[in-house]
Structure 1
Amino acid sequence: MRDCGAAAPPDQAALDVLCPMHARLDREGWIVHAGPMLAKLDARSGVVGRRFADLFELRRPRIDDRVDLLMDGGAVRLRLRLRQPPATGLKGVFVPVAGGAVVNLSFGIALQEAVRDFSLTAGDFAATDLAVEMLYLIEAKSVAMEASRKLNLRLQGARIAAEEKAFTDTLTGLGNRRVLEPLLTRLIDAGSDFALLNLDLDFFKAVNDTLGHAAGDHVLQQAAGIMRAETRDSDRVLRLGGDEFVVILEGPVDRARVDDIARRLIARLEEPMRWEGRPLEISASIGAALSRSYVTREAGAMIAQMMDDADRALYAAKAAGRGRHVVHDPSEGG
């Protein structure tokens, strides 16, 4: 490191204020003075008394870091990079002066990273430097983007909540009629094996007529809970309206499984429910259709046919005395 104890030129103090990121070089390329901001780039080892080429890699012009070759020319634009990590890129202008040169530097597009890496503040920049305004703009943009991100999250949450509400039966918390067709379409398009069970509560109207709608709502909520408990997480229970429910059993599913679940559902629903100390007795009738019974896999036609066949099976269960289930048999036709 070279001894640079010579007195500074009389204009040095002004230059430090106007160009805080400048360096004065002697004719051999040694730094004899550094502005206060430039000194921060290597505060631990110091900048003054070191070769300019030891601190900076000169990328343009390509003169093998021989800045002394520029001493006898005019002003030259520079592109440089710090040799030490984080290897920040810089822009500069090299101006020969009596006894050497002045190099003024700036961070260019690396400004935001440099402020972070070297702990710079607005006070490190010249008062007229547009970089200060750029810092404020960057900060304002960051604040605006964060506010926009939070707003988007709130809007997304509101949209999801609205969609969930639109597809949810508010009384029971089950999916509603709007869920049915998209759900069946997805299963059919995926070639999945499933069963569709139409379930009606028997004697529900008598509860409503004798004890009122509050008792009826209680029955519907209890029935929904029973259907959830007796089916798997992969199955779906929907309330279509009134005392009409649909249970979708995802496969593999066969007649034996449908029979087993239908019997368990009916048995559980026939257990007396309590309402204000009084027993409420209902039952259920179920009509079912199995997807494997259908040749066509065109979603629209298959959904319509399965719903129609499950409805006919449900009416057959009711006609047989209620509290029963019937699985549609395609061999019977009609």
Structure 2
Amino acid sequence: MIDLEDLAFLLERLCPMFVLLDRSGRMTRVGPTLQKLRPEQPMQGEKFLETFELLRPRSVATVPALMASSGAKLHLSLRDEPRTALKGLIVPLPGEHGAIVNLSFGISILDAVRDYALTSADFSGTDLAIELLYLVEAKSAAMEASRKLNLRLQGAMIAAEEQAFTDTLTGLKNRRAMDHILSRLLAGTTPFALMHLDLDYFKSVNDTLGHAAGDHVLQHVARVMVEETRGDDTVARIGGDEFVLIFNHLQERERLDSIARRLIDRLEEPIPFNGEECRISASVGTVLSSQFARPDASTLLHAADLALYAAKRAGRATHRFYEAGQSSTSVEPLERAATPSPQEEAAAGQGAARNLAS
């Protein structure tokens, strides 16, 4: 006579996913790992074929057929979600006292470990699944380390690229970044406007108040330009006191002229520095990408330079658009008289007086 209590005690240690069936197919004992799959639904006392769906052999649909399947490999799954796939083997007990069904996860072990938070303690010490789990854990650890390393490398690469495309003094894009953005726009079909802005009387600030004042002015100018442009526009410092602004999807002359005039007006406001006032202005030239059938970067930049030269010839502190046929020797004032503004005169006078005094 088999002592079922002793048998269950042994099976719990050797086969933690066993099921002990009585002759009617009811589960009288269930291994601790198997019960973990349904912690809120005790399996003991339930019908085996009502808890598990037998997928193969398809001919087994009753308890007698199940009991007669000794040695056959069973493919089954839990009937409710998650429908974890299982493999099993049934061995009848002597004297028709029922049967033992030993279950395993097979290739679904990784899903089971994830779904039920299983550990090596939930498996038999001789189960090869333990070694597989160790391999998976080692692989996961290696992949996580690789992922973190890749993130650090990507961060370093992005930081290096950002530094390579950034003017360190103002935080604006630099000439390299502008060339890259301009090439990308020209390769597409997006219309845009390119504005070349050059500071007036900036040399006087450097000469009279020093380069620290000049740096302060450039940083102030950068803030003003960023505030007067949109998030997808480009503001780049391409020289000492030269800037290029690129406006995506913007070709309206009135709107561009309004932006340029706002920039000029704001840059003419005195800039405090160490108890002194730095006074500058700006001249601006603008070209539209649509003004050329097949524009290239050098053509657009040259056209913006010509428009800027026209603004300088018009007395500075003004804005000009490029016009077809314009050249450096055939520039005529287009929008504002050549007479300098009072602020320009004051700035120029202050600069001249300081230069004479020195």
**Counterpart amino acid of residue 228 in structure 1:** V
Range 253-262 or range 74-83, more displaced: 253-262
Tell me the distance in 1 between the aligned counterparts of 2:36 and 2:264.
Answer: 81
**1:77-117 CA deviation, whole Å, 9 max, x = no partner?**
11111223322210112234423433211112332443455
Give the equivalent residue in structure 1 for 2:346: none
Out of 90, 93, 96, which is 1:94 matched to?
Answer: 90
Give structure 2 stretches of 5+ with no counterpart: 329-358
Normalised by the size of structure 2, how large is the TM-score?
0.78
Matches within 5 A, 1:218-237: 218-237=216-235
Residue number in structure 2 paired with 1:148: 146
Contact 1:285 1:323 in 2 (8 A): yes
TM-score (norm 1): 0.83
Gaps of 5+ in 1: 1-5
SS of equivalent to 1:95? strand
Q: Label 1:41 to 1:170 Cα distance change in 2 as closer, same or farther (>3 A).
A: closer
Indicate whether 1:323 and 2:321 are aligned. no
Between stretches 140-149 and 265-274, larger displacement belongs to 140-149
Q: Quick one: percent identity of the two aligned structures?
A: 53
Q: Does 1:54 align with 2:50?
A: yes
Distance in 2, Cα, partners of 1:229 & 1:71: 82
SS at match of 1:268: helix
Q: Which amino acid aligns with 2:236?
A: L
Aligned counterpart in structure 1 of residue 129 of structure 2, from 128, 131, 139: 131
2:194 alignment partner AA: L
- Match of 1:79? 75
- For this pair of structures, how many residues does the alignment match? 326
Partners of 1:138 and 1:231 lie apart in 2 by 53
Residue 156 of structure 2, aligned match among 152, 155, 158: 158
Residues 232 and 17 (structure 1), Cα distance of their counterparts in 2 relative to 1, 3 Å cut: closer
Q: Which residue of 2 aligns with 1:208?
A: 206
- The answer to whether the 8 Å contact 1:273/1:280 transfers is yes
Identify the match of residue 307 of structure 1 among 295, 301, 304. 301
1:215 is matched by which residue type in structure 2?
A: A
Answering whether residue 253 of structure 2 is matched by residue 255 of structure 1, we say yes
211-220 or 254-263: which moved more?
254-263
Question: Are residues 56 and 173 of structure 1, via their aligned partners in 2, closer, same or farther at CA, if it must alter by over 3 Å?
Answer: same
Q: Distance in 1 between matches of 2:150 and 2:76?
A: 41
Do the aligned partners of residues 262 and 88 (structure 1) sit closer, same or farther apart at CA in structure 2, a change above 3 Å counting? closer
Contact 2:193 2:250 in 1 (8 A): no
Comparing 252-261 with 35-44, greater Cα deviation is found at 35-44
Aligned partner of 2:351 in structure 1 is none
Q: Distance in 1 between matches of 2:255 and 2:46?
A: 85
Aligned Cα root-mean-square deviation (Å): 3.0
Could you tell me how far apart the structure 1 residues matched to 2:36 and 2:233 are? 66
Query: For the residues of structure 1 that align with 2:197 and 2:118, how far apart are their CA atoms?
Result: 71
Task: Tell me what 2:349 maps to.
Answer: none
